[in-house]
Amino acid sequence: MASTIASSHTSLLTAQHSVGHVHLIIGSNPLAASRATNSLAAGAKPILIAPTVENQTIHYNLAAHIASGALTHLSRPFQNDDLFTLGREEVSGVVDAVFITAPNAVNAPEIADKCRRNRIPINVVDCPPLCSFSLLSVHVDGPLQVGVTTNGRGCKLASRIRREVAAALPEGLGTAVERLGGVRRRILEEAAAKRGGHGQPQVVADEGVDDSVDQGAEF
C-alpha cells in the first residue's frame, strides 16, 4: 500500500483565471447548482443544459440564477455540437470547460472522449477516469483561497480536512491579505517609477514569484 502511494503522481494545482469563459453544465441537480454558483463566482458564463421535466421543479438556486439572467438555460438534451458552438467568439466557439453532474443522463464516456480529443477540460462527477481535472474543496476569505484535494481518495475527506484547516486560520486573514497585497503593489510601482519604468508590467511579472512554491527574496 505504501509503495502504491509513493509511486503515484500528484496533481498540478493551479488557480485558473476564468473571467468571461464559457462553462457547460450538464444536469439540473443540486451539484449543478453548486457548479453554476462557483462558475459565476469566478467570473465565467455558465450555460446549463438540461431538459425541462414535467411536474419536476428545477433546483431553486438554478432557478434564481436563471431568473437573474446570470445563467443561460437550454431546456433540451446535450448535443455534441454544443462543445464547438456555444463558446466564446475569440476561441472559435469552443467552450472552455464541461461539467457533467448527471453522468447517467448522458453518454459521459463519449462526451469525455470528444473533450479530450479537442483539449476541452472536463469534470464528470464520481467518474475520475473520465475527468481531465478535479475541483478542490475550497475555503474562501476575500482574495484568500485555500484548496484541498485527496486526488480521488475521497471528497468528503477533503472537505473535512479543509474545514480543519480553515478553523485554524486567524480571523480576518482575508482582509489582511487584501491590505498587504495593496501595500506590496504600491511598493513595486514606486520602485519601478524610480527606475524610470512603468509600474504595471513589473507587478504582473512579479506575480509568478509571489505564488510559487519556493518564494524568492522579493517582497
pLDDT score of 153 = 86
The answer to whether residue 122 scores a pLDDT higher than 60 is yes
pLDDT score of 209 = 52
Which position has the higher pLDDT, 78 or 209? 78
CATH assignment of 16-134, among 3.40.50.720, 3.10.180.10, 3.60.9.10, 3.30.70.20 = 3.40.50.720
The answer to whether residue 210 scores a pLDDT higher than 70 is no
pLDDT score of 212 = 52
126: nearest Cα among 159, 156, 161: 156
Where are the chain's structural domains? 16-134, 136-169, 175-210
Cross-strand pairs, 138: 147
Mean pLDDT, rounded, of the chain: 88
Q: Quick one: average pLDDT of 119-126?
A: 96
Are 58 and 45 contacting, i.e. CB atoms less than 8 angstroms apart? Answer: no
Share of the chain above pLDDT 70, in %: 86
Which position has the higher pLDDT, 121 or 211? 121
Q: What angle do CA 176, 15, 181 make, to 5 degrees?
A: 25
pLDDT score of 85 = 98
Q: State the Cα–Cα distance between residues 182 and 216, nearest whole angstrom.
A: 19
Cross-strand pairs, 99: 25, 123
pLDDT score of 2 = 47
pLDDT score of 95 = 99
46: nearest Cα among 56, 54, 38: 38
Report the range of poorest mean pLDDT among 20-29, 86-95, 100-109: 100-109
When pLDDT is cut at 50, 70 and 90, the band that residue 211 belongs to is low
- Grid coordinates representing 206 are 512579479
